[in-house]
């Protein structure tokens, strides 16, 4: 049996200098503990989304441009005894108290300065908005009956108290052309089920008031978000009457919920896995020096955490949560060394040389499998790769160099090597292999039902109270946060507006009124405005102006209007219409809307349109890709489809890459294809069982299950290496017992993750628990059966 003599020599060298080993190790541990205490963790799902230039990465960044993506939305719901006046006064009082450093720009109603001045401007802006459809409508209104009806309404209004306040408006708009402009303003309504009462956002039934606020707190800042909620609760307690319910919806609530859940999970998972591993040591080893074995994964965890903190400014909480898994992985190598050293009559130097070969290659294959994560386009997966490689590398050093000096060799029992699981089971190789093949066939059959879960919400914690608040918000105000986004892109504002005009014209005829929010209706491109003004001028330069003058004079006289009453209207027709500019809209309070709908990024300008997030809408855009140049459709549903495709592609890529790395290392280790194939038995069995059970139970394969797949490949091949070395090369340092106990410790680590409430950690725990629970028995039973088959 071959061995690595340099590790034997290294053991001999330090056996006379153990103080150096102890002091150096202690210094490293203390340094890592200090570094770990300063780690800045993040709990954002963004770490598990692409950060490259892929379609998924671009779509995610574009989804953040939604008008409500970064807003804090507050709903005040009054009880049956609360009047609208009390509700709006409470909303104003609360909005007034929501000030920096937590809140900025709190709106309880529209910021548009709706009044005579605005209406006057809108009428004067009509030439630039005058479409062919508008022209047909106005032509149809130039009849005696319709003009007579219109003038009667004006006369009636003028006799009312508010009539004199708007009489100047009637002088410039006797035909009611303002209604054309007001209809175009409906395309700016981003709150579908809303009515405005006394400049407040109220629900249709008048029982709900809405506040929309910006905040200085980043959505990913869990600590700041928690302080924000604490401050907001203090405001509610002091300013809101008991019979008014207040609910807050924002991305910050998800951040806090995920952060709190992960913190709880880290405590539970790491505590449970540590205690479970310690209990297994007590049950199966019952020697006090097993604590030194327990020392290996704990130190490896600190080293891995410190190492990843040097590589990344912020560390994903998922990565730290992975520490429970690392405990189960890294203890395997220490157990193999421990059992080998404890055999009676063993020579430590010789044993280290012998055991180092399978231990090193087992560690290298696991590290190789995790190395493929370094090429992932997901920052969280890259962090997991770095964390795992550092941790496993540290455990190899600790197991092969440090641990032997802490354990007195040769004082154990020879009985460790005598456990033969394939014999203890009472099954012949024929029965073992037959049962194994049937097992694989059944799992492969069920594995065909495996599906990819593209719903990112399923990877985050969504407490019931948040879900209820979201549902109520949607029922009361409409789907503010779930619309699809369409971006019209250009190199400058004019080219972007042109693309937006084409999009608007295409969609307006194909989707129901009220389902689209677009600037195109009120801010067309210069080219479209020019065409509209020409249409306006042409329309009024023909007989239509004379017809309008005749109708207004004749019907006006019947209502008591003088012949000069509507002279301002005709004066406006003779003037050259001015173009509409963004500054005009800003001057009337639409600046915030413009800022949310017109996005300047580098050398490009994007103009946003909001539409329903449906498959029909996606199909409409897809059908017109050639016609709609510079237009991009983005939605949660579409993004989920992209992620699903990316997950399936990454799954295949990582499976092939990890398998190739492992296969190459096995070939280098054994240089015998029979041994290589046998060593892969636990890997194949574990993966097939995991996929089969997931397919049977309907568990979706997600981003985090890719990590689970890598784990099963890396751990399964370790068990295979040890068993093949034991059977084919005379390596018999209590291998069966070491694999059995190390398998249990690994299951303990994953079992701890299965207890996690966070879906991502729970997903890794459950799926790998399935894989390893099949990999360990296959290593102990199937590999020996393959060797002993007749």
Q: Model confidence over 475-490: pLDDT tens digits?
A: 888 876 678 889 999 9
What are the residues whose beta carbons fall under 8 Å from the beta carbon of 282, sequence distance 6 or more? Answer: 290
Give the range with max mean pLDDT: 39-48, 464-473, 781-790: 464-473
What total number of domains does the chain contain? Answer: 1
Q: Report yes or no on 467 lying in a domain.
A: no
pLDDT band at 195 (very low <50, low <70, confident <90, very high): confident
- The first and second tokens of residue 526, run together, are 């210069």
- Find the angle CA(199)-CA(201)-CA(206) to the nearest 5 degrees: 105
Q: Report yes or no on 772 lying in a domain.
A: yes
The counts of H helices and E strands in the chain are 33, 12
Neighbours of 742 (CB within 10 A): 25
Burial degree of 542 (CB within 10 A; 0-12, 13-18, 19+): exposed
Q: Report yes or no on 360 lying in a domain.
A: yes
Average pLDDT (431-438) is 89
Q: Tell me the sheet residues that pair with 72.
A: 213
**How big, in percent rounded to 5, are the helix, strand and coil portions of the chain?**
70, 10, 25
**Residue 645 is part of which domain span?**
5-38+285-414+423-452+639-788
% pLDDT > 70, the chain: 88
Asked if residue 747 lies in contact with residue 690, where contact means CB atoms within 8 angstroms, the answer is no
Average pLDDT (200-207) is 88
- The first and second tokens of residue 560, run together, are 């008591």
Determine the straight-line distance between the first and last CA of the chain, rounded to whole angstroms. Answer: 25
Residue 691 to residue 439: CA distance in whole angstroms: 13
Q: Report yes or no on 210 lying in a domain.
A: no
What is residue 56's predicted lDDT score, i.e. its pLDDT? 66
CA-based nearest residue to 172, from 156, 159, 154 = 154
pLDDT band at 330 (very low <50, low <70, confident <90, very high): confident
Q: What is the CATH number of the domain that holds 301?
A: 1.20.1640.10
Average pLDDT (196-201) is 83
- The alpha carbon dihedral of 38, 42, 47, 52 has a sign of negative
Q: Report yes or no on 428 lying in a domain.
A: yes
Q: By three-state DSSP, how is residue 236 classified?
A: helix
**Per-residue pLDDT tens over the stretch 28-48:** 889 988 888 877 777 666 666
Residue 608 to residue 688: CA distance in whole angstroms: 46
Q: Report yes or no on 386 lying in a domain.
A: yes
- The first and second tokens of residue 393, run together, are 């590398």
Is the bond into 101 cis (omega within 30 degrees of 0)? Answer: yes
Asked if residue 407 lies in contact with residue 419, where contact means CB atoms within 8 angstroms, the answer is no
**Per-residue pLDDT tens over the stretch 223-250:** 888 899 999 999 999 999 988 999 998 8
Q: Report yes or no on 501 lying in a domain.
A: no
- The first and second tokens of residue 485, run together, are 């986004």
What is residue 245's predicted lDDT score, i.e. its pLDDT? 93
Q: Report yes or no on 465 lying in a domain.
A: no
Residue 96 scores a pLDDT above 60: yes
- The first and second tokens of residue 285, run together, are 């080893």
Q: What is the mean pLDDT of the chain?
A: 83
Quickly tell me which residue has 């401050």 as its tokens. 231
Residue 506 to residue 609: CA distance in whole angstroms: 12
Distances (CA, A) of 540 to 132, 574, 671: 13, 9, 92
Residues shown for the chain: 790
Residue 334 to residue 753: CA distance in whole angstroms: 22
- The first and second tokens of residue 322, run together, are 């992975």
């Amino acid at each position: 049996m071959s061995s690595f003599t340099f590790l034997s020599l290294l053991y001999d060298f330090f056996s006379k200098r153990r103080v150096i080993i102890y002091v150096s190790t202690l210094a490293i541990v203390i340094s890592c503990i200090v570094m770990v205490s300063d780690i800045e963790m993040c709990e954002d799902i963004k770490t598990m989304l692409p950060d490259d230039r892929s379609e998924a990465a671009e779509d995610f960044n574009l989804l953040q441009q939604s008008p409500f993506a970064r807003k804090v939305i507050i709903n005040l719901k009054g009880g049956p005894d609360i009047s609208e006046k009390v509700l709006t006064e409470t909303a104003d009082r609360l909005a007034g108290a929501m000030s920096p450093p937590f809140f900025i720009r709190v709106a309880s109603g529209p910021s548009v300065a709706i009044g005579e001045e605005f209406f006057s401007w809108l009428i004067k802006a009509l030439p630039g908005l005058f479409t062919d459809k508008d022209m047909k409508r106005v032509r149809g209104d130039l009849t005696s009956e319709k003009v007579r009806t219109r003038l009667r309404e004006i006369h009636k209004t003028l006799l009312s108290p508010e009539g004199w306040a708007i009489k100047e408006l009637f002088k410039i708009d006797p035909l009611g052309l303002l209604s054309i402009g007001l209809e175009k303003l409906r395309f700016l309504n981003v709150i579908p089920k809303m009515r405005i009462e006394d400049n407040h956002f109220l629900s249709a039934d008048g029982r709900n008031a809405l506040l929309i606020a910006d905040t200085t707190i980043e959505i990913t800042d869990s600590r700041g978000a928690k302080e924000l909620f604490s401050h907001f609760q203090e405001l509610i307690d002091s300013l809101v009457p008991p019979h008014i319910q207040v609910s807050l919806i924002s991305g910050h609530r998800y951040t806090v919920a995920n952060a709190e859940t992960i913190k709880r999970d880290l405590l539970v998972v790491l505590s449970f896995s540590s205690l479970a591993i310690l209990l297994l040591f007590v049950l199966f080893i019952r020697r006090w020096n097993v604590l030194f074995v327990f020392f290996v994964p704990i130190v490896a965890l600190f080293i891995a955490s410190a190492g990843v903190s040097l590589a990344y400014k912020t560390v994903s909480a998922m990565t730290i949560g992975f520490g429970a898994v690392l405990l189960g992985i890294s203890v395997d190598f220490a157990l193999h060394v421990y059992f080998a050293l404890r055999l009676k009559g063993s020579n430590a130097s010789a044993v280290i040389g012998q055991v180092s070969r399978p231990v090193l290659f087992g560690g290298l294959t696991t590290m190789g499998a995790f190395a493929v994560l370094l090429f992932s386009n997901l920052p969280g997966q890259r962090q997991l790769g770095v964390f795992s490689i550092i941790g496993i590398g540290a455990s190899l050093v600790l197991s092969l160099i440090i641990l032997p000096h802490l354990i007195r060799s040769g004082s154990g029992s020879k009985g460790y090597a005598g456990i033969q699981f394939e014999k203890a089971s009472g099954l012949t190789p024929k029965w073992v292999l037959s049962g194994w093949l049937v097992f694989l066939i059944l799992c492969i059959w069920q594995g065909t039902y495996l599906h990819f879960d593209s719903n990112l919400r399923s990877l985050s914690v969504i407490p019931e109270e948040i879900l209820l608040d979201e549902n109520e918000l949607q029922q009361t105000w409409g789907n503010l946060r779930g619309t699809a986004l369409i971006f019209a892109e250009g190199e400058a504002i004019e080219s972007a507006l042109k693309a937006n005009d084409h999009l608007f014209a295409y969609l307006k005829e194909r989707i129901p009124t009220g389902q689209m929010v677009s600037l195109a209706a009120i801010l067309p491109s210069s080219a479209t405005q020019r065409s509209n003004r020409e249409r306006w001028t042409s329309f009024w330069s023909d007989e239509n102006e004379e017809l309008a003058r005749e109708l207004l004079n004749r019907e006006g006289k019947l209502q008591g209007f003088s012949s000069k009453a509507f002279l301002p209207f005709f004066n406006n027709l003779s003037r050259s219409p001015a173009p509409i500019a963004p500054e005009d809209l800003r001057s009337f309070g639409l600046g915030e809307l413009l800022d949310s709908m017109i996005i300047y990024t580098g050398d490009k300008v994007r103009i946003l349109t909001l539409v329903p997030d449906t498959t029909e809408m996606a199909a409409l855009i897809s059908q017109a890709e050639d016609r709609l140049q510079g237009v991009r459709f983005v939605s949660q549903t579409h993004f989920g489809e992209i992620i699903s495709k990316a997950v399936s592609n990454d799954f295949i890529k990582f499976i092939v890459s990890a398998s190739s790395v492992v296969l190459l290392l096995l070939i280098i280790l054994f240089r015998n294809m029979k041994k290589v194939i046998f060593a892969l038995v636990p890997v194949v069995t574990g993966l097939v069982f995991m996929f089969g059970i997931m397919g049977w139970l309907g568990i979706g394969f997600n981003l985090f299950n890719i990590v689970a797949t890598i784990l099963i490949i890396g751990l399964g091949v370790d068990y295979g290496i040890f068993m093949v070395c034991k059977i084919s090369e005379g390596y018999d340092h209590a291998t069966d017992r070491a694999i059995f106990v190390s398998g249990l410790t690994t299951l303990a680590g994953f079992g701890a993750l299965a207890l996690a409430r966070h879906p991502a950690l729970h997903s890794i725990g459950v799926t790998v628990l399935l894989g390893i629970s099949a990999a360990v028995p296959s290593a102990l039973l199937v590999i020996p059966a393959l060797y002993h088959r007749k």
